[in-house]
Structure 1
Amino acid sequence: MTDSAVLTAPVSQVGTLEGAAFGPSSWREIGQDDVDVFARLTGDDNPIHVDADAAARSPYGTRIAHGLLTLSFVVPMLREVFSVTGASTGIVYGLNRVRFPAAVPAGARVRIRGQVAEVTEVSGGWQAVLSLTYEVEGNEKPACVAEFVLRYYS
């Protein structure tokens, strides 16, 4: 993580973060075991995720991670590069635009980088919209671009 920028601020200063960039996080592998567990938990057993033979015949040529699995890996990666301290509660309030421009082959590594796109005051705290890009190691096209809406209460 040598080229990483970590953004940390106390909850009282969240209002000053708009426009600030952070990341990238360290690389995190999304292995076939992760894909298989996600498929079992969600019931999404599309062959491009779990069947090596069927996936080999797909446009991807191999098994790929679910887009929603890739999206969910945000928590450990975001913790590395963005944090708000002193909040009594922090929650994911929602997601805005989410796209999956490129597949993540099982076993590939991803990381995130982002920017604080918008900050607004809400009753009892702050709402921050983080514009995140999920990079796939060795691929110019991102695996995912999404806006996460987070709330921090003091």
Structure 2
Amino acid sequence: MSKLFTNAQQLLAAQGQDLGRTDWLLLTQARINLFAEATGDHQWIHVDPERAATGPFGACIAHGYLTLALANLFMPQLMQFANLAMGVNYGSDRLRFPAPVRVGSRVRGHGEILRVETLGQTLQAVVRISVEIEGSDRPGCVVDTISRYTFNPLEQ
């Protein structure tokens, strides 16, 4: 269940809020292969199941940046906006890949609003997204995303 924000005051008041978790997503070899095609990263640990089976992870693993990109998939499942003039990704801080994500794993996003600050008519929100791996104590990725949101003025 995503959290709906309809104005700046609601987002400002949500600082420190846990956004919960998304549904599970099965990470398939097909998704990994598509990412390899899109980025040109065809390293065998990602795309060669036979060789990867005898490698250090025992199977193909997702690219770290694929795991990071899932934050963009999970964010709208955690946060929704109405009455928004514009929202943009501004960047990220503190990116880590604590555990490999093996093909066939199920992952989900966990979100926390760390900070919200006012920048003129815009709000900047830092939201930590952890890509959790089912059955693992360590996430596949933890990133503090930075987004900027400008709400339409409220009608009087």
* Structure 2: gaps (5+ residues): 152-156
- What does 1:54-69 correspond to in 2, within 5 Å? 54-69=51-66
Q: Following the alignment from structure 1 to structure 2, what is the Cα–Cα distance between the partners of residues 110 and 16? A: 29
Give percent identity, aligned residues only: 34
Per the alignment, residue 32 of structure 1 pairs with: 29
The answer (yes or no) to whether the contact 1:65–1:104 under 8 Å persists in 2 is yes
Per the alignment, residue 130 of structure 1 pairs with: 127
For the residue of structure 2 that corresponds to 1:97, the secondary structure is: strand
- What does 1:1-154 correspond to in 2, within 5 Å? 6-13=2-9, 14-154=11-151
Runs of 4+ in structure 1 deviating by more than 3 angstroms, as ranges, are none
The answer (yes or no) to whether the contact 2:126–2:146 under 8 Å persists in 1 is yes
TM, length-normalised to structure 1: 0.91
Q: Following the alignment from structure 1 to structure 2, what is the Cα–Cα distance between the partners of residues 7 and 89? A: 18
RMSD over equivalenced CA pairs, Å: 1.3
AA of the residue aligned to 1:7? K
The answer (yes or no) to whether the contact 2:52–2:59 under 8 Å persists in 1 is yes
The answer (yes or no) to whether the contact 1:6–1:82 under 8 Å persists in 2 is yes
* Structure 1: gaps (5+ residues): none
Q: Following the alignment from structure 1 to structure 2, what is the Cα–Cα distance between the partners of residues 140 and 49? A: 22
1:9 positional shift: 1.6
**CA shift digits 1:22-67 (9 cap, x unpaired):** 1210001121011111111101111100011221222101001111
TM, length-normalised to structure 2: 0.90
